[in-house]
Structure 1
Amino acid sequence: MPERRSTILHADLDAFYASVEQRDDPRLRGRPVAVGGGVVLAASYEAKRQGVRTAMGGRQARALCPGLIIVRPRFDAYVEASKAVFELFRRTTPQVQGVSIDEAFLDVAGLHRIDVPPLQIGARLRDWVRDEVGLPITVGVARTPFLAKVASRVAKPDGLLLVPPDAEEAFLHPLPLEQLWGVGEITAAKLHAYGLWTAGDVAALPQSVLTGTLGPAAGRHLYAVVHGQTPATVITGRPRGSIGAQRAIGHGPHEDEFVRAALLGLVDRVCRRMRTGHRTARTVVLRLRFEDYTKATRSRSMPQATASGEQIAAAALHLLDSAAPLIRSRGITLVGIALTGLESDEFYQMVLPLDGPDHSGLDAALDGVSARFGTAALRRASLLRTGDGFAAPQLPD
């Protein structure tokens, strides 16, 4: 039997958006900061300690934390910081599985004969991220990605924690169920109703009880989780299946044109990222969140995969129009867009523009301007607020 070793790192940037804002503005350091507007997108740990949470309304956040500083999001800055951190991940090992913009799994098993032990690799990675990018990061080290993820949750913020293979149950079983990756509020509440509060409580039950309570798939998964039977490999090289962005627009009411403009701004951003990655998309997904915190999605697939901002914008607006009755009855606080069915543009099948002009040259021109002058150089006029933009004097005839 091969030796069991803790060689998986889960690296997770702490309060990522808020940490970038505190890094870039010294006046925010050590103070409670929330990123967002009407809705909190991210909160610093100074704000979290006073009860501020992601997806909380701005008014409620200020009531909990009177000294809260709310700053508008700067997504370009977050993307650049993420790229810099992922370069450090890849400097550590080629075996990197990105989970989101601010976290990844790293498999360092292949380095055991040529590098320091995994715990020291994690410590070095934290030093690199702090010194070269200026951000705090927490690293969990364990035998499986699941355990490494839980270890980083326990070690936050700005921590480092190793779970040795012979101490997995001692680490895992005392933890509250909410600490387990994949156990959400609904599942936790259902288990609490049966007097189950920790991973150890669940581990004492046979699998049949869990499948009967939670259903076959969820029951088997939770049984595997509490007994350390989750997969032990990091998945790399898998093509990205989707790309998306969302914007919290706060509590309304909102004018229809404002919501449409917000959606089109997201379409521009996502399409630019997709074309930069040399991909095309076949399906457009609209995501909405309402005043009552319920959510809805709508999707539309196109006959051919495309990278055209015009076609994707048209599909997104069609989906928004189809959701208009829900928006009017429930109010809307968040709008998002995702592109799925991604394919390489290497063998992109062009479609003749028989029904109108070909705007692919416009997409290329806009991408070129963004690449040279930054993504903030161009913005739809409908997204400008009073005082934004510039004025140029008209020349006499």
Structure 2
Amino acid sequence: MSLSPSPSCTSTWAHSSLKSNAATTPPLYDRPVVAGGTGNRGVVASASYEARANGVTSAMPVRHARHPCRGLVVVPAHHAKCRQAPEEVFSILRSLTPFVEGISMDEAFLDVSGLRLHHEDPGQMGVEIRSRRRVEAEPSGFVGVARNKFLAKLVSKASKPDGLREVAAGTEVEFLQALPATRLWGVGAATSAALERLGIATAGAPASTPVATLRRHLGATMGTMLHDLAWGKDERAVDPDGAVKSISVEQTSEQDLADRSLVEAELLRHCERLSGRMRRAGKLGKVPAVKVRLADFETVHRRLTLADPTNTGRDVFRAGMALLADIDLDRCAVRLVGEGMSDLCDSAAPRQPTTHHEWEDMAIAVDRVHRRFGDQAVVPARIVATSESITERGVS
């Protein structure tokens, strides 16, 4: 059943996100810390504010992060904890209101209009959200309260680190005037340059610029959108039915992969992991996508649409191989390989009978073996053969 807020009330939105801090033990508080790969090819998955203040960013190679940030502490990423923490927080949020729209594993929009019977002041709603999270879940975070999604997200960012902020109705333009124009949604390098030519430097400045001028210089759609956003207007509703839109797996290799057969084996490994995650989530997908990052850090994406949704490693790998064939791997060695699947649907939903049901049955049987004996109990022979070949050649 689809839920929607009552049209008779003025909606109030909250944006909530987890604190991006790799440190979870007191001895590491207030120190520059990153969570990520600890090997030579490791990348930063998350960085504390102390590390970010020294120029460290997510996805930065760890060895590069050590240069601008002396005394950097690198800890392994605990994937199980990373999955558990958002689940706990989302459970708390849904206990407060059914109108929760997850936009990532650690961010959500809430329509808290219905809580006015309990909290006359919208800011008090944010206080309750943060207090419940502190008591019932370990991660701290940020809460921004405003009258729409666009403002709530900006306010949440403005509350960092580890804070709460509200922008009251009627003060939106004043709040936006203090932010750079690049904080407006959709403003990239090209649009930012166009705004600079118009003398627009703040997020609130487009509100005092004739919309016709914005449309003429930025295009009809972008000009109108930025004018509305600068006035604090955003008509989008919280979608409580928002579900996971994609699932993906990727990993940076310990050494660059210069042989296509090694790249294909790595792709197969990821396809097996991806298909297993999809089956555990009860999902099928129709749009596979491959991501390849070359040694010179150029990143290439390819995707296609399947005739029928799937979650078997065989089908996912076949699609991945077709996409990989369209990427020039001879120019440069490969640093990272990944595969994802989008356009997801529930595997229990009615669908056309498949002619490859034996592969689905085999995947289910393999899942049972993995649950009992571990993920390495049964793997494709090609992965085993490639691993042995690499060891013999002394590549790893």
TM bin, normalised by shorter chain, reads 0.7 to 0.9
Q: Structure 1 residues 256, 85: CA separation in 2 closer, same or farther (over 3 Å shift)?
A: farther
Structure 1 position 80 matched with structure 2 position 84: yes
> Which stretches in structure 2 are left out of the alignment for 5+ residues?
1-6, 389-396
Structure 1: distance between partners of 2:73 and 2:47: 10
Give identity over the alignment, percent: 34
Distance 1:209 1:33 in 2: 46
Matched, 1:229 2:230: no
| Aligned equivalent of 1:31 | 31
Is 1:8 paired with 2:8?
no
Residue matched to 1:305: 309
The answer as to whether partners of 1:90 and 1:96 remain within 8 angstroms in 2 is: yes
Structure 1 position 284 matched with structure 2 position 308 = no
Instruction: Summarize the alignment of residues 114-129 of structure 1 with structure 2, pairs less than 5 Å apart.
Output: 114-115=118-119, 117-129=121-133
Determine the structure 2 residue equivalent to 1:393. Answer: none
CA distance in 2, matches of 1:189, 1:256: 41
Instruction: Give the partner amino acid of 1:364.
Output: I
Q: How many angstroms does 1:164 deviate by? A: 0.5
- 8 Å contact kept, 2:370–2:377: yes
C-alpha spacing 1:205/1:49, structure 2 compared with 1 (3 Å): same
Task: Give how far 1:113 is off.
Answer: 1.5
Q: Does 1:101 align with 2:105?
A: yes
Shift in Å, 1:267? 2.6
Residue 263 (str. 1) matches residue 264 (str. 2): no
Partners of 1:4 and 1:165 within 8 A in 2: no
TM-score (norm 1): 0.82
**Farther-moved stretch of structure 1 (268-277 vs 251-260):** 251-260
Q: Which amino acid aligns with 1:14?
A: K
Larger mean Cα displacement after TM superposition, 78-87 or 238-247? 238-247
Give the aligned partner of residue 341 of structure 1.
343
Q: What is the CA-CA distance between 1:206 and the residue it aligns to?
A: 1.8
After superposing the two structures, state which structure 1 stretch, 245-254 or 42-51, moved more.
Answer: 245-254
Quote the Cα distance in structure 2 between the aligned partners of 1:383 and 1:36.
29
1:163 maps to: 167
Residue by residue, what CA displacement relative to the aligned partner does 1:56-105 show, whole Å, maximum 9, x if unpaired?
33333111112223344343331222211111111111101010011000
What number of residue pairs does the alignment pair up?
Answer: 375
Are the aligned partners of 1:279 and 1:344 in contact in 2 as well (CA < 8 Å)?
A: yes
User: Which residue in 2 is equivalent to 1:22?
Assistant: 23
Alignment pair present for 1:201 and 2:205: yes
Q: In structure 2, how many angstroms separate the alpha carbons of the residues matched to 1:195 and 1:306?
A: 51
Letter in 2 for 1:145: K
Cα 1:314–1:159 shift into 2, 3 Å: same
What is the DSSP-based 3-state SS (H/G/I as helix, E as strand, rest coil) of the residue aligned with 1:306?
A: coil
SS in 2 for 1:130: helix
Provide the C-alpha distance between the structure 2 equivalents of 1:110 and 1:208, rounded to a whole number of angstroms.
38
8 Å contact from structure 2 (residues 144, 153) kept in 1: yes
Partner amino acid for 2:33? V
Q: Which moved more, 1:149-158 or 1:235-244?
A: 235-244
The aligned residue for residue 56 of structure 2 is 52
2:300 aligns to what? 296
Change (3 A) 1:196 1:319: same
Cα distance in 2 between the residues matched to 1:383 and 1:208: 64
Give, in angstroms, the shift of residue 304 of structure 1.
1.6
**Structure-2 separation of matches of 1:47 and 1:120:** 32
**Matched position secondary structure for 1:303:** coil
> Which ranges of structure 1 fall in alignment gaps of 5 or more residues?
387-397
287-296 or 61-70, larger mean C-alpha shift = 287-296
Q: Distance in 2 between matches of 1:212 and 1:149?
A: 28
Structure 1 residues 138 and 181, CA gap change in structure 2 (3 angstroms): farther
Q: Given that residues 41 and 248 in structure 1 are in contact (C-alpha distance below 8 angstroms), is that contact kept between their aligned partners in structure 2?
A: no
Which position in structure 2 is the counterpart of 1:389? none
In structure 2, C-alpha distance between the alignment counterparts of 1:119 and 1:373, rounded to whole Å = 50
Between 1:227-236 and 1:241-250, the stretch displaced more is: 241-250
* Other-structure match for 1:391: none
Q: Secondary structure at the match of 1:329?
A: coil
Q: Deviations over 1:199-225 (max 9, x none)?
A: 133333222322333333222221211
Aligned-pair distance for 1:32? 1.6
* Contact kept in structure 1, 2:11 and 2:112, CA below 8 Å: no
State how far apart, in whole Å, the 2-side matches of 1:92 and 1:384 are.
Answer: 51
CA pair 213-329 structure 1, distance change in 2 beyond 3 A: farther
- TM superposition shift of 1:106: 0.7
Please, what is the CA RMSD of the aligned residues?
A: 3.2
Q: Which amino acid aligns with 1:224?
A: D
Distance 2:177 2:254 in 1: 40
2:46 alignment partner in structure 1? 42
Once residues 214 and 242 of structure 2 are traced to their aligned partners in structure 1, the CA distance between those partners, rounded to angstroms, is: 32
